[in-house]
Structure 1
Amino acid sequence: MTELAPIIAGLLVLVGSFFALVAVIGLWRLPDIYTRSHAASKTGTLGSGLVLIALAVHAGDAGTTSRALAGVVFFLLTAPIAAHLLARAAYAVGYPLSKDSVRDDLSNRP
């Protein structure tokens, strides 16, 4: 297994970097804060999680592996919630939706 660990770690870094690149492209190309926060939270979390898992595979010691896996859990618990709260705050202060948006589900709420 020790000869496979660098290959697996390298593949995880490549896939994680791809998802981080997709997050950056989403931030650059998407029209408003709501779709941008979606791109950043979903693909950014997946990309950084895969890179941390690659670190856990490559490190080989229990301390680094446990901290890397704790980082993955932290990303999974905090990034989607933070993106949701930022989007709700942007909506509350009146940041407009893109003109290409199909519907506004929050406009009918009291």
Structure 2
Amino acid sequence: MLIDIGSWVLLSLGGFFVFVGGVGVLRMPNLYTRMHAASVTDTMGAILIIVGIMLQAGASLATVKLAAILLFLLLTSPTASNALASAALLAGLRPSESTAADTERHQ
């Protein structure tokens, strides 16, 4: 019973983090702040959801597979965010310029 409660708490918190990340992507003013909102909250949401599913799966092969997926996500999500930021910088989008321009447009 405690494992089920803990699992559902983790799943609910993970869903909340993913939802907040989606709202952050829609509400933030520029690429860099959107990318930050998405990468941080979605990574935390994925961790919580996968750990919640691992609790439901118990000690089985599915848990090992979920742990491998979790490790893969923890390695690739920050790498993808870094690659996106690097590509934006190479394309000429500077964080201070975009922030200042977007702030002026939203006032």
**One fold, TM greater than 0.5?**
yes
- Determine if the alignment matches structure 1 residue 74 to structure 2 residue 72: yes
**How many angstroms apart in 2 are the aligned matches of 1:99 and 1:25?**
22
SS at match of 1:44: helix
Output aligned runs, 1:82-93, within 5 Å: 82-93=80-91
Higher helix share: 2
**How many angstroms apart in 2 are the aligned matches of 1:10 and 1:53?**
10
- 1:90 positional shift: 1.1
Q: Gaps spanning 5+ residues in structure 2: where?
A: 103-107
- 1:47 positional shift: 0.1
Match of 1:99 in 2: 100
> Aligned letter for 2:78?
P
**How many angstroms apart in 2 are the aligned matches of 1:32 and 1:88?**
15
Q: TM-score, normalising length from structure 2?
A: 0.84
Match of 2:3 among 2, 5, 21: 5
Match of 1:28 in 2: 26
> Aligned letter for 1:35?
T
When the two structures are aligned, how many residues end up with a matched partner? 99
Q: Percent identity?
A: 36
**How many angstroms apart in 2 are the aligned matches of 1:100 and 1:65?**
47
SS at match of 1:99: helix
- 1:100 positional shift: 6.4
**How many angstroms apart in 1 are the aligned matches of 2:46 and 2:83?**
20
* Superposed CA RMSD: 1.6
